[in-house]
């Protein structure tokens, strides 16, 4: 047990056979110590009004999660410690708090949970199992804690494993063997597909092994490429779901626990609906964009609305995130822009209720071509001239951003990011991309979904905001006459299946060929994936929804001569 442990005073109004534990599913911001402290105080006031004995926050709730190398800064460590001590001094009249913060003991930096009670820091527990895979690299910044014992509180011994500590058996086994009666698990668990099932399976395994009930507290909100979905839950010792908080929404909820002959059980709580499947993907994209814009204090966003499906979905997500008054859409037509695209873009803007302007780019494109003509004399026109269109559009959007302060939303999907079917310093310009981790086929699917449904927190209109004609038409970048994406790429149904196997599954060329894919197509896609790494390294951040996104999950070398020959 930690040397900081002291026995908290017993509150006479809380009988030893009943405990009211409040769950704070809140949206902290990395580095905003004062703002996070204000969120904690607001949650505490709510919990106090409802008579809670204990209020539990998510992992590193004071610093924000994940703090990355910011947490190595001594001034930041000191600010977090002062916030914890100030909050502790305010707990004289209850409720007690379990808060997460970076904590220095004996010169070592820990990912810790602190019990604040009776006006002081009454106990500290440190995370033992530091994850170092996928989006996590905690071993880079934190020291692993010692095996913990339970925290005594109000006549009950609380086991407090922190997030990854329940993904293996050892920490919970230690807590159970040293007398824990209830497991409270503060988490910083980001959203990805299938994460709900993975969390539940892990939690059930620890409940079965220990025979103890478990309260799982997760944060909500966007932090750069990660989106935290909340969805906090509790399991009683019989593995029955005792509490479920909603996904992608902040909540402070009081739960009632009672001691019976066979242990503690949650007897009063909330079972909310959980957002799952495509709806969860869409909600994550919207929340990620919303928090990126708001936490970085942009007044709004601007994006190019081309009449294609990608920009239409991004516009809908932007309006759902920020409201139509903070979204500015611009059509940037050239000679190859079809009348159908002009009509579809205008229809999307009208249905979403956003400001919509048309800025022709012919003058810019032709002026650059004229400037380059002496250098390019004698050479045929090729993709160079096509890319000028995209680069002029990117320059114009960035100019609007500079003039008015709105952030440019970039609109490339994962299929394009995978194959390099995007133009550096053109359509890749921008500050954030809500669909960066969605393949093209998923963009179509989520567009149809948005016409039928929207998240409860969405600020956009209901109904068909993306015309069905726009969804049905063949995808095209419209960089030359009668161009279609499939002139340069395999059909998206085939391409996206191959890409998902290569990116998320690290499948070999031989495996894909054995499963019936055309060898030449697979080799070509694998080559495009590899040579586009330099572009992806320069791409804007975007929401992670798949098991392996381009960014924190997948860090390939740019200079890389390995090719899978099958």
C-alpha–C-alpha distance, residues 185 and 217, integer Å? 6
Which of these is catalytic: 34, 42, 50, 59? 59
What does the alpha-carbon distance between residue 214 and residue 242 come to, in Å, rounded to a whole number?
10
Q: How far apart are CA 564 and CA 526, in angstroms?
A: 8
DSSP run (H or E) holding 355: strand 355-358
Residues 290/222, Cβ–Cβ less than 8 Å: yes
329 is catalytic: no
Query: 461 vs 26, 211, 277, 368, 448, CA distance in Å?
Result: 26, 48, 22, 40, 15
- Take residue 265 and report the two structure tokens written for it: 């059980």
d(CA 401, CA 408): 6
Give the tokens for residue 427: 């359509």
Whether the upstream peptide bond of residue 296 has omega within 30° of 0, thus cis, is: no
Q: Is-catalytic flag, 163?
A: yes
- Catalytic option among 163, 174, 285, 329: 163
Residue 32: helix, strand or coil by DSSP? coil
Element (H, E) at 509: helix 509-514
**Peptide linkage before 456 cis (omega within 30 of 0):** no
Task: Name beta bridge partners: 334.
Answer: none
Residue that the structure tokens 């759902």 belong to: 320
The tokens of 465 are what?
């905001």
- Give 279's contacts (C-beta < 8 A, 6+ positions apart): 449, 453, 455
Q: What is the CA radius of gyration of the chain?
A: 26
Secondary structure percentages of the chain, helix, strand, coil, to 5 = 40, 20, 40
Q: Give the C-alpha separation, 312 to 317, whole Å.
A: 9
- Active-site residue 544, yes or no? no
- Which member of 18, 50, 68, 127 is catalytic? 127
The set of catalytic residues is: 59, 127, 163
């Amino acid at each position: 047990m930690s040397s900081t442990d002291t026995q908290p005073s017993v509150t006479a109004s809380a009988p030893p056979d009943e405990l009211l534990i409040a769950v704070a599913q809140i949206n902290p911001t990395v580095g905003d110590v004062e703002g996070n402290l204000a969120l904690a105080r607001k949650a505490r006031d709510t919990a106090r009004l409802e008579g809670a004995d204990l209020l539990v926050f998510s992992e590193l709730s004071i610093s924000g999660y994940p703090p990355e190398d910011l947490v190595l800064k001594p001034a930041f460590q000191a600010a977090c410690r002062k916030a914890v001590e100030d909050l502790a001094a305010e707990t004289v009249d209850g409720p007690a708090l379990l808060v997460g913060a970076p904590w220095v003991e004996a010169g070592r930096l820990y990912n810790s949970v602190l019990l604040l009670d009776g006006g002081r820091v009454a106990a500290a527990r440190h995370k033992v199992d530091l994850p170092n895979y996928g989006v996590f690299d905690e071993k880079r910044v934190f020291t692993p804690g010692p095996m913990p014992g339970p925290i005594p509180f109000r006549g009950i011994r609380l086991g407090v494993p922190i997030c990854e500590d329940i993904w293996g058996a050892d920490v919970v086994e230690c807590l159970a063997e040293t007398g824990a009666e209830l497991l409270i698990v503060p988490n910083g668990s980001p959203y990805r597909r299938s994460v709900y099932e993975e969390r539940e399976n892990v939690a059930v395994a620890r409940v079965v092994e220990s025979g103890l009930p478990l309260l799982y507290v997760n944060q909500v909100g966007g932090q750069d490429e990660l989106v935290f979905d909340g969805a906090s839950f509790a399991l009683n010792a019989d593995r029955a779901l005792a509490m479920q908080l909603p996904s992608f929404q902040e909540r402070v909820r009081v739960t009632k626990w009672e001691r019976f002959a066979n242990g503690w059980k949650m007897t009063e709580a909330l079972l909310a609906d959980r957002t799952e499947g495509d709806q969860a993907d869409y909600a994550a994209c919207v929340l990620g964009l919303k928090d990126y814009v708001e936490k970085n204090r942009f007044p709004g966003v601007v994006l190019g609305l081309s009449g294609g499906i990608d920009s239409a979905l991004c516009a809908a997500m932007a309006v759902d995130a920020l409201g139509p008054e903070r979204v500015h859409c611009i059509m940037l037509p050239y000679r190859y822009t079809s009348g159908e695209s002009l009509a579809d873009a205008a229809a999307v803007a009208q249905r979403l209720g956003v400001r919509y302007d048309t800025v022709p780019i012919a003058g810019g494109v032709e002026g650059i071509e004229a400037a380059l003509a002496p250098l390019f004399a004698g050479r045929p026109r090729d993709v160079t001239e096509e890319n000028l269109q995209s680069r002029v559009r990117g320059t114009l959007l960035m100019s609007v951003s500079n003039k008015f302060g709105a952030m440019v939303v970039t609109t490339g999907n994962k299929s394009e990011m995978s194959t390099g079917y995007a133009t550096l310093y053109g359509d890749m310009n921008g500050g954030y991309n809500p669909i960066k981790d969605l393949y093209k086929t998923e963009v179509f699917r989520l567009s149809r979904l948005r016409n039928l449904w929207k998240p409860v927190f969405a600020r956009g209109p209901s109904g068909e905001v993306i015309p069905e004609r726009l969804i049905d038409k063949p995808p095209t970048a419209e960089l030359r006459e009668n161009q279609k994406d499939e002139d340069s790429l395999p059909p998206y149904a085939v391409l996206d299946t191959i890409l998902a196997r290569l990116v998320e599954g690290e499948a070999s060329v031989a495996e894909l060929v054995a499963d019936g894919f055309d060898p030449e197509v697979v080799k070509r896609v694998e080559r495009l994936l590899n040579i586009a790494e330099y572009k992806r390294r320069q791409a804007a951040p975007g929401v992670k929804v798949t098991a392996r996104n381009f960014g924190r999950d997948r860090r390939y070398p740019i200079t890389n001569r390995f090719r899978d020959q099958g």
